[in-house]
A and B are shown apart, each in its own frame.
Chain A
Amino acid sequence: MGTEVETMDQAVKSMGVREGKYLTFNMNDEEYGIGILKIKEIIGMMPITTVPQTPEFVKGVINLRGKVIPVIDLRLRFGVDAIDYTERTCIIVVEIEGTAGTVQIGIVVDSVSEVLNIKGEDVEETPTFGTKLDTDYILGMAKMEGGVKILLDIDRVLSSDDLSSLRKVA
């Protein structure tokens, strides 16, 4: 009985944690969401300075009003084929919390959609896919308008190794 109550408590708690405003964006014809409080700014594409000897998904660095920010391409990070950037391609500047503190990074996405209020009850746990697939970077699946939006835990999209290499780049 006690365990059941604890499980229920945990479920309600995680529901509350995942409820809130999300910025949704499109990538490879799928909709993703990032918690709005993680977003610093959305900017259009701007010149990216490539940095040698960085992983393929690291596009380089940008100068955002005097601040050098590393930029990654989410398509490449997720192993999706790269496409040419269009006028809808955006860089979402997010604040990521790693073990060594907070770091700002730019994430290239196909296009930005909207800000949505997502209720806790509309977010489901990530399916296990029956394999040892690592889905830690997925916060949950939001059931919206007959479809599903993938909510990302942006702090976990990059590993701590990735983050420390990005810190060096910036």
Chain B
Amino acid sequence: MKLVFFANKNLSVGKQLWELNNRLEPQYRGTFHETINELTKSLIQPKDDLNIVVLLATSREDLRDLIAIEKLLSDFRIILILPDRYKVTISMGHKLYPRFLSYADSDFNDVALVLNKMIENYNPEPFLQTPIKEAQHGH
């Protein structure tokens, strides 16, 4: 699994995402990028079966920059965090075909839940193993 974050850690919203990334199990933690150029470099690095990108757009300008590299995001499941709730912004955001939309003024619990679900679906617990072992010990 490849996980990529685009957010500015110097902003409180960006810091929240940074903390969210650090809360993940080490093997699932993503790379953090603060500029479009850094993000671009990361997007073209080897991909995996599941590729997730969490994008924090703190302005419409950010969103425009992201739309300009939309093609590079096509293999990624996008979680997009928009700067505001204006219709124009939301409509711009949909150009990226995000799997999930959130807003910069949220507490990101929604983002954490969605991210968790995506990872869980990618790597479900080997649910058969435990019952079989338990069954063997039990008999």
Contact = CB atoms under 8 A, between A and B. Distances in A.
Interface of A: 21, 23, 36-37, 39-44, 65, 114-115, 117
B38 to A, nearest CB: 9
8 contacts: A21-B69, A37-B69, A39-B72, A40-B44, A42-B46, A65-B48, A115-B37, A115-B44
Interface in B63-97: 69, 71-72, 75
A37 B37 contact: no
A115 B46 contact: no
Interface in B8-63: 37, 40-41, 44-49
B37 A21 contact: yes
Contacts of A114: 41
Q: Which range contains the number of B residues in contact with the other chain?
A: 10 to 19
A65 B44 contact: no
Where chain B touches its partner, the secondary structure class is loop
A115 B43 CA distance: 11
Contacts of B48: 65
Given A39-B44, A41-B44, A65-B49, 12 more contacts: A23-B44, A36-B69, A36-B72, A37-B71, A37-B72, A40-B44, A40-B75, A42-B44, A42-B45, A44-B46, A115-B37, A115-B44
A36 B42 CA distance: 12
Contact of B37 (A40, A65, A117): A117
A41 B41 contact: no
A65 B2 CA distance: 14
Which of A23, A36, A114 gathers the greatest number of chain B CB atoms within 10 Å?
A: A36
A23 B49 CA distance: 24
A41 B45 contact: yes
Interface of B: 37, 40-41, 44-49, 69, 71-72, 75
Contacts of B69: 21, 36-37
Given A36-B40, A117-B37, A43 B72 contact: no
A17 to B, nearest CB: 14
A21 B40 contact: yes
A62 B71 CA distance: 23
B46 A41 contact: yes
Nearest to A66: B49
B53 to A, nearest CB: 14
A142 to B, nearest CB: 16
Contacts of A21: 37, 40, 69
Contacts of A44: 46
A36 B44 contact: yes
A32 B41 CA distance: 17
A43 B44 CA distance: 9
Instruction: Please give me the 7 A-B residue pairs with the lowest Cβ-Cβ distance, nearest first.
Output: A37-B71, A39-B44, A115-B41, A43-B46, A115-B40, A42-B44, A41-B47
